[in-house]
Amino acid sequence: MRVGIDVGGTFTDLAAVGPDGLVIAKVPTTPHDQSEAVLAAVLASGIDPAAVQALAHGMTVATNALLERRGARTALVTTEGFRDVIEIGRQARADLYDLSRHNPPPLVPRGLRVTVRERMGPDGVVEPLDPADLERAVNELRALEVESVAVCLLFGYLHPAHEEAVAAAVRAALPGVEVVASHEVLPEMREYERTSATVATAYLRPRLRGYLGRLVERAEGAKLPTPTVMQSSGGVIDAETAGLLAATTVLSGPAGGVVGAAHVAVASGFADALTFDMGGTSTDVAAIVEGSVATTTEAVVAGVPLRLAMTEVHTVSAGGGSIAWVDDGGRLRVGPTSAGAVPGPAAYGAGGVEPTVTDANVVLGRLPDGLVLGGSIALSRELAAAAVARLGERLGLGLEETALGIVRVADSAMAQALRVVSVERGRDPRAGALVAFGGAGPLHACALADDLGIATVLVPAASGVLSALGLALADTRRDHVRGLRTTLDHEGTAQVAAALDRLAAEALADLPGAALGLAVDCRYAGQGHELTVPVTEAEEAAAGFHRQHALRHGWDRPDQPVEAIAVRVTATVPTERPALAPVPVVAGPVAGPSAVPIEGATVWVGAGWAGACDATGTLVLRREGAA
C-alpha cells in the first residue's frame, strides 16, 4: 500500500491506496505535535504497517512557524552596507491607500544582523574578505546566542567563495548552530528575494528538523517506512532533505491537494480545472493547466517572498472553522481568526461559543444535526443555533438570515481567491471544471461555480481526504536553478545550453534515473520581471518567450532582444500508481437543492444543479442547461 497523511488545521487525513482499493481515515489534529495525529491516523485506519510500501506526509509545521513567527532565533550575515536589504525590500507598502497598515516585520530583527567587510561584483572579487573582520563577526554571532545563521553576500549566487568561507567559519565556531548560505538555497539574482529565501530556510530549519526527527522516530517505532515529505512544488523528497531545505515545504499540505485534484480532473476528462480545497482553517485554490499543476516562483507566504518552485496556490482565511464577527462599522465579517481544532466550532460541543461557517451550515441544514465528523465529533444544531443567534442579535437579523449571511461572506472571499488564480492569470474559469474537496469544499462549490460562470463541479470519491490521496500518488521531485545573464543571440544561446547541461548533470547526480524538465527564465531587455519558459533545448527559449508573453500580457515584441537570467531543471521520478477501483460517491443521480452526505464530507447541491457519478466514481454536477 502507498499511504498519504495530510495534517490540516482541524483534522489529519489518511488515504491508503493498494490492491484492495482505497482506505481512508480522519482524526483530530494535535497542534502541539502534529506527528501524534499522523500515528493516530494510521491506527484509526486499521491498516497493517507491514503492508505499507511508502508513506508520504504533508504538514503545516513550516507554514505555521511563518504565520505565527515561531521559528528559530536567526541571525543574518551579509555584506557591509547591505544590512537592511531584508527590511527595505522592494519598498512596497502593505496597502497603497491605508497608511495604518504595515508590512510584517522581517524574520531577522536589526539587532541580529551582522555584516562582514568583503565585496563581490558580477566579474568576481572587488574587495577580499577581511579575516580579522570575519573573526569579529563570528564573535558577535556567538554573543547573540542564536539557533540559526543565514549567510547572504552580494553576488554570492555567481561567486560563492566568500559565502563558503563565512559559512565554514561560523560552523567551526558554533557547532550547534544551523548555518545556511544563499548559494545553497537560491543561486540566482535579486538580492532581496535571495536574502528572504535564505533567511526563511534558516528560520524554519531547526523547527522542521526537530519535528521530522520525532516523526521518523514514531514511524520507525510503529514499523512504518521512513516518511517522505511533500514540497510546495507538488513532489515529495526524503525527510532529511526536507529538513535541510525547510522553506520548500511551506505549502506542503495544499500542494498534496492540488496533485490529487489534477489526478481526478484528468481522469474525468478535464485537462483544465480550478481546484477548491476548503478545510477547517483556510481555503486553498489553484489551477490545473493542460493536465499539469500550475507552478510559480513568485510566491509570498506570511509576508515573506519565497522565490522557490511552488504550486500556484492562493490561500484565504476562510474555512469551516472561521469565526464570524461584526466590525466597528457594523459589517458582518468572517475570519481570519479560526476556532481551529480546539475548541472548534460551537456545533462540535467542545467548548466553542463563537459562530463559524460550519455552524452556519448546520443552522441552514446543509450539515445535518448529529452528523459525526472525524469518527468522534457529533454536530449539534442546538449549540450552533445559539452561537449564530447571538451574532444575529448584534446585526439585527434572524437566525437563518444571519447564517446565510455568514455563508455568503465566506463565499465571496473564496470566489475572489479563485479569480486570482484564473482571471488575473489570463485563464478563463469557464473553460474547465471546479474540483471541490476538503471537508467543507463540496458544501460551497455550486455557489462558487455560479459566481464564476463554471458549468461543471467535480466532487471526488475521496473528497474529504483528497490532499492525503495526492500525497500517496505524488512523484519524487527536486528543483534546481542557476542564475546567469545573457542575451539570447547565438553566443548567449550557447551559454544557456551549456548551463542547462551542467545543471541537468547535477540533477541526475542528485536523483539518478529521473526524468528532466528544462526551463529558462526570460525577459525583454530592460524589463524588471521575467517569465519561466519550458524548453527541450536552449534554442527554443526566445520563440517560446514571445509566445508566452503574448498569452500572459496580450502583446509581444518579436523584434526586441530577449535576455535569459536563469536556467531551471526539474528532476522527477514517477511514482508507481496503483489503479484506483471506481467507488461511486453516491449511489444514484442527485438534484438540488439538497444535502448529500458522502464519506468524509457533505455535498450541497445548489438549486439548478444536478448530476451523477462518472466511470471513475467522481460525482459530476452540472448547472441546469449546461452542455
CA distances from 517 to 408, 544, 573 (A): 42, 15, 11
pLDDT given at position 626: 64
Say which range, 240-244, 400-404, 550-554, has the weakest mean pLDDT: 550-554
For residue 571, the SS3 value is: strand
Digit-coded pLDDT (tens) for 251-279: 888 899 899 999 899 989 999 999 998 88
Instruction: Give the three cell numbers for residue 395.
Output: 446585526
| Residue finishing a domain among 171, 189, 207 | 207
Task: For residues 418 and 403, state if they share a domain.
Answer: no
Task: For residues 383 and 485, state if they share a domain.
Answer: no
Task: For residues 305 and 429, state if they share a domain.
Answer: yes
Task: For residues 306 and 371, state if they share a domain.
Answer: no
Q: Would you give the distance in Å from CA 432 to the centre of its chain?
A: 22
Secondary structure (DSSP) of 382-405: HHHHHHHHHHHHHHT--HHHHHHH
Task: For residues 541 and 559, state if they share a domain.
Answer: yes
Residue 545 lies in a domain: yes
**Domain count within the chain:** 4
Q: What is the mean pLDDT of the chain?
A: 91
d(CA 14, CA 188): 38
Q: What is the C-alpha R_g of the chain?
A: 25
d(CA 435, CA 349): 31
pLDDT given at position 249: 93
Digit-coded pLDDT (tens) for 130-161: 999 999 999 999 999 999 999 999 999 999 99
Check whether 575 has a pLDDT greater than 90: no
Say which range, 73-82, 96-105, 469-478, 614-623, has the weakest mean pLDDT: 96-105
Task: For residues 202 and 89, state if they share a domain.
Answer: yes
For residue 149, the SS3 value is: strand
Residue 594 lies in a domain: yes
pLDDT band for position 95 (cuts 50, 70, 90) = confident
Task: For residues 567 and 607, state if they share a domain.
Answer: no
At position 325, the amino acid (one-letter code) is: W
Task: For residues 292 and 417, state if they share a domain.
Answer: yes
Task: For residues 309 and 424, state if they share a domain.
Answer: yes
Q: Are 12 and 471 in contact (CB under 8 A)?
A: no
Task: For residues 292 and 418, state if they share a domain.
Answer: yes
pLDDT band for position 511 (cuts 50, 70, 90) = very high
Q: Is 567 exposed, middle or buried (0-12, 13-18, 19+ CB in 10 A)?
A: buried
CA distances from 188 to 115, 191, 241, 257, 410 (A): 21, 9, 20, 29, 39
d(CA 606, CA 448): 10
Residue 225 lies in a domain: no
Residue 549 belongs to domain spanning: 479-573
More confident residue, 284 or 199: 199
Residue 445 lies in a domain: yes
| Residue finishing a domain among 391, 409, 427 | 409
Residue 231 lies in a domain: no
CA distances from 88 to 191, 203, 527 (A): 11, 19, 21
Instruction: Give the three cell numbers for residue 548.
Output: 508566452
pLDDT given at position 490: 94
Closest CA to 17 of 617, 599, 583, 581: 581
- The DSSP H or E segment spanning 212 is helix 191-221
Instruction: Give the three cell numbers for residue 553.
Output: 500580457
Check whether 196 has a pLDDT greater than 80: yes
Q: Is 579 exposed, middle or buried (0-12, 13-18, 19+ CB in 10 A)?
A: exposed
Across the range 111-121, mean pLDDT stands at 96
Residue 382 lies in a domain: yes
Which CATH number do you get for residue 597?
Answer: 3.30.420
Residue 4 lies in a domain: no
Digit-coded pLDDT (tens) for 299-327: 888 888 899 999 988 888 888 889 999 99
pLDDT band for position 581 (cuts 50, 70, 90) = low
Digit-coded pLDDT (tens) for 465-483: 888 999 999 999 999 999 9
Check whether 627 has a pLDDT greater than 70: no
pTM summary value: 0.86
d(CA 532, CA 545): 8
At position 151, the amino acid (one-letter code) is: V
pLDDT given at position 376: 74
d(CA 114, CA 136): 10
d(CA 352, CA 332): 19
- Give yes or no for a cis peptide into 28 (omega within 30° of 0): no
Residue 546 lies in a domain: yes
Closest CA to 443 of 317, 332, 596, 612: 596
| Residue finishing a domain among 409, 427, 449 | 409
Task: For residues 303 and 373, state if they share a domain.
Answer: no
Percent of the chain with pLDDT over 70: 99
Which CATH number do you get for residue 147?
Answer: 3.40.50
Task: For residues 72 and 177, state if they share a domain.
Answer: yes
